[in-house]
Amino acid sequence: MLTFYTAGESHGRGVFAFLDGIPAGLKVDREIIDSDLSRRQKGYGRGGRMAIEDDRVDVLSGVRGGRTLGGPILLAVWNRDFENWKGYMDPWDISPGRELHTPRPGHADLAGAARFRQADLRNVLERSSARETAGRVAAGGLLRCLLDELGVEIYSWVTRIGDVEFSGEYDRGLRDSSSVFCPDRDATAAMERLVDAAMEQGDTLGGEFRVVLRGMPAGIGSYTQWDQRLDTLLAAQLMSIPGIKAVQTGIGTEAAELPGSLVHDEIFPGSPKRRNTNNAGGIEGGVSNGQPIEMRCSMKPIPTLKKGLRSVDIRTGAAVHAQYERSDCCAVPAASVVGEAAVIIAASQAVLLSFGLPAMAAVKEAFESHRAYWESL
């Protein structure tokens, strides 16, 4: 069983990812992990923090000579900005000056203060910050190596920023050349203009992105328990990304508007069995059905606004405007990269739940045997 956790604060020494349950002998490509971390830092509308950081993975345990050892793996992404925050983030002696007492609407500040009984909201935002997702992307990059070895591919693209929508097909070259990770030049230009306008107004923007997983045979995931369903694993990982407000599989909410005859994907003869549509998004009954797995995520605007929304000073109860912390105007492109990592982690959990063997060679043999069985049906 794959176990995954993160640790670290936004302005602390670094962000960390802990992985356990990965089979021994998996070849780890550091360039894949660093490439994913680099993509996470990009995207039109990102703030000044990304000009400071240069995220790279540092493997602290569990890998030797480029291959996993079978034991726990600890990954670190060090924060360069910690040098500017040493006095404020020291574990023992804190310098005054970075306290926060005005919760930002839409952020975890007030709810987190209630949960952990914090008087200084700095103690909430440091952990609730989306900087934590650097750890997820590092973990996803390592697990991408596992899925690559099994012939499973994951990619994403941005389909909306604000009211600008792109409904066309994915093209990797166009996506990679786009400042907003949208595979269309006209949509990219329109999204950039929208971000520019929001920045001038001191506002922020949300949007949508899609994540697709290809190469997964039917039969991964299980309907026997709720927490083993593939869509449960995927939705949980994606909904846990800061700012994500909705996750859909396949045609998602459109299925509620249509009759069953127009929703369910008919099955035709062949080896493996063939479908002409993929409204289910590759999952039926919590189990992969051999079609591409398609997820769509909606992200709210960043809750830190330069214009400052109305709030309250929790010390005095006085009405004030929320304090501005250095932030992005739009993080949808970066969130799409985090979404890839989330899908990779969930898919790896499902694969290792079915084929949880101690050595990667054995996992690959079992997985390919299952694929051959599916293709013979």
In the predicted structure, residue 252 carries a pLDDT above the cut 80:
yes
Q: pTM value? A: 0.97
CB under 8 A, 24+ apart: contacts of 311-320: 311/102, 311/103, 311/104, 311/105, 312/102, 312/103, 313/101, 313/102, 314/101, 314/102, 314/103, 314/110, 314/113, 314/119, 314/121, 315/101, 315/119, 320/102
pLDDT at residue 326 is higher than 80: no
What local confidence, expressed as pLDDT, does residue 308 receive? 85
Q: Cα(102)–Cα(320) distance, rounded to whole angstroms?
A: 8
Residue range of the domain that includes 10:
3-376
Res 73: pLDDT? 98
Q: What is the pLDDT of residue 48?
A: 78
**Rounded distance, CA 15 to CA 134, Å?**
7
The length of the chain in residues reads: 377
pLDDT at 107 over 80: yes
Q: What confidence tier does 325 reach under pLDDT thresholds 50, 70, 90?
A: confident
For the chain, give the percent of residues with pLDDT over 90. 94
Write down the pLDDT at residue 323.
81
CA angle 158/161/162 to nearest 5° reads 155
73, 138 contact by CB (below 8 A) = no
Q: What is the mean pLDDT of residues 98-122?
A: 97
Give residue-wise pLDDT tens across range 193-251: 999 999 999 999 999 999 999 999 999 999 999 999 999 999 999 999 999 999 999 99
Which of 317, 291, 326 is CA-nearest to residue 213?
291
Question: How far apart are the C-alpha atoms of 28 and 294, rounded to whole Å?
Answer: 26
Sign of CA dihedral 231, 232, 237, 243: positive
Give mean pLDDT, residues 148-157: 98
Q: For 83, which DSSP code? A: G
pLDDT band at 140 (very low <50, low <70, confident <90, very high): very high
Residues facing 58 on adjacent strands: 76
Residues 6+ positions from 334 with CB-CB distance below 8 Å: 40, 41, 42, 43, 46, 133, 328
What average pLDDT score do residues 328-340 get? Answer: 97
| Angle made by CA atoms 164, 167, 172, in degrees to the nearest 5 | 105
Instruction: Give the per-residue pLDDT at 374.
Output: 95
In which band, very low, low, confident or very high, does the pLDDT at 307 lie, cut at 50, 70 and 90? confident
The mean pLDDT of the chain is 96
Please give the average per-residue pLDDT across 363-373, as a whole number.
97
pLDDT at position 240 is: 98
Amino acid at the residue 68:
T
Q: How far is CA 371 from CA 31, 146, 298, 351, in A?
A: 28, 16, 32, 12
> Quick check: 125 and 314 in contact, CB under 8 A?
no
Alpha-carbon distance of 45 to 196, in angstroms, equals 8
DSSP H helices, the chain, are: 30-41, 49-52, 86-89, 109-116, 122-128, 133-149, 172-177, 185-200, 230-239, 260-263, 332-354, 360-376
Q: What is the pLDDT of residues 161-197, one digit of tens each?
A: 999 999 999 999 999 999 999 999 999 999 999 999 9
Average pLDDT over residues 283-303: 97
181: CATH: 3.60.150.10
**Over residues 332-360, mean pLDDT:** 97
The pLDDT assigned to 98 comes to 93
Encode pLDDT of 126-135 as tens digits: 999 999 999 9
Beta carbons within 8 Å of 188's beta carbon, 6+ residues apart: 178, 179, 180, 182
Number of domains present in the structure of the chain: 1
Q: How far apart are CA 82 and CA 14, in angstroms?
A: 8
- Rounded (10°) angle between helices 30-41 and 133-149: 140
